[in-house]
Copies of this chain bind each other. A is one copy, B any other.
Amino acid sequence: MGDERVLAIDIGGTKMAVGIVDPGGRVESYERAETPKVDAEGLWRLVEALLDKLPETNLVGVGVGCGGPMQWPAGEVSPLNMPGWRNFPLRARLRERYPSLPVRVHNDAVTVAVAEHWRGAGKGSDNVLGMVVSTGVGGGLILGGRLIDGASGNAGHIGHIVVDPGGMPCACGGRGCLEAIARGPALAAWAQAEGWRAEQDLASATARDLAADAARGHPIAVAAMRRAGRALGIGIASATHLCDLDVVAIGGGLAQAGPLLFNPIEATFRAHARMEFARHVRVVPAALGQTAGLVGAAALVFEGDSYWHAG
């Protein structure tokens, strides 16, 4: 058992990473590359090139987190920020490459949530919402100790909980979604409209810059963190009342702002999550870092009873 390893793959619009993960959730070997703007086969060749760099080991399966949307569990992926892949048969390609191994593919925010439940901030709790707040706002739900897939593998879309019904249009076509307010680019645009880094090109003024400026006390940047925190606190209160959670673990670029973000989250969350059963919920920073996606992808294989309920 101890020498079994899972090949883990984490594919997003910014980077691709592959690794070998042990049963304890440790990433033993790791390769990564920026995601290029190339066609479907060019992207696949890069995945194979990264895989070729990994050492030979005793693999028991392949676990993958990939940007959504996707046909699930078929693993035909159309990542929003990877126009080269539209209905790309990622799971089928990996099955061809590893014909003797189980191959399991899920949304990359889901694998991060799984990682936080398996080895991170949600370890030991049965009811966990894991969130990633960066370019988008995504998540995954573990309830009763089991990953919740939903009807089409899309459970966990906390970014599209409605937190301001008359508010900003969302890219999804709706209005007032959490993501429309709290995603990094929306926050940076809001801050710039308020006068933050007015001289800078918006595309190069990122949410990480905003978080860093907030840490230095820039009043508009601090207000942007409060704005995000309020929206997040409302969304988390709704999720808590609906799902009766133990732990909400928040990662992603914006979470790097620390208490400047988590304090307003906590204040708004406590103001709205007033049912007695919600009192024990802990809203905490994610414990795992950049490799969370690989750890969670590996858990789809190592802990299939908890995290994989598809064929």
Q: Which residues of A contact B (CB under 8 A)?
A: 69, 125-127, 141, 143-144, 146, 148-165, 170, 172-177, 230, 234, 237-239, 241-246, 271-277, 280-281, 309
Contacts and interface: CB of A to CB of B under 8 A. Distances in A.
A84 B77 CA distance: 56
A160 B238 CA distance: 7
Given A127-B150, A276-B69, A243 B144 contact: no
B152 A143 contact: no
Contact of A244 (B146, B152, B177, B309): B152
20 contacts: A141-B242, A143-B148, A144-B150, A149-B244, A151-B244, A151-B245, A151-B277, A157-B277, A158-B241, A158-B242, A161-B241, A162-B234, A164-B165, A170-B274, A172-B274, A174-B271, A175-B272, A238-B238, A238-B242, A242-B243
A158 B243 CA distance: 9
A151 B246 contact: yes
A57 B177 CA distance: 53
A272 to B, nearest CB: 5
Chain A binding surface SS class: loop
B277 A243 contact: no
Contacts of A146: 144, 146
Contacts of A243: 141, 148, 150, 155, 242-243
B162 A163 contact: yes
Nearest to A273: B174
B237 A174 contact: yes
A85 B87 CA distance: 57
B242 A272 contact: no
A154 to B, nearest CB: 4
Given A161-B241, A174-B274, 16 more contacts: A126-B151, A127-B151, A144-B148, A144-B309, A148-B243, A150-B244, A150-B277, A155-B243, A157-B244, A160-B242, A160-B274, A161-B242, A172-B274, A174-B237, A238-B242, A243-B243
A163 B161 contact: no
A243 B309 CA distance: 15
A153 B274 contact: no
A173 to B, nearest CB: 3
B242 A277 contact: no
A220 B242 CA distance: 31
A67 B159 CA distance: 32
A145 to B, nearest CB: 9
The 5 closest A-B pairs by CB, nearest first: A150-B244, A173-B274, A160-B241, A155-B244, A154-B277
The listed residue with most B CB atoms (<10 A of its CB), out of A126, A150, A177, is A150
Nearest to A170: B274
Choose among A162, A176, A230 the residue with the greatest number of B CB atoms under 10 Å from its CB.
A162
Contacts of A127: 150-151, 155
Given A244-B155, A244-B157, A275-B157, A238 B162 contact: yes
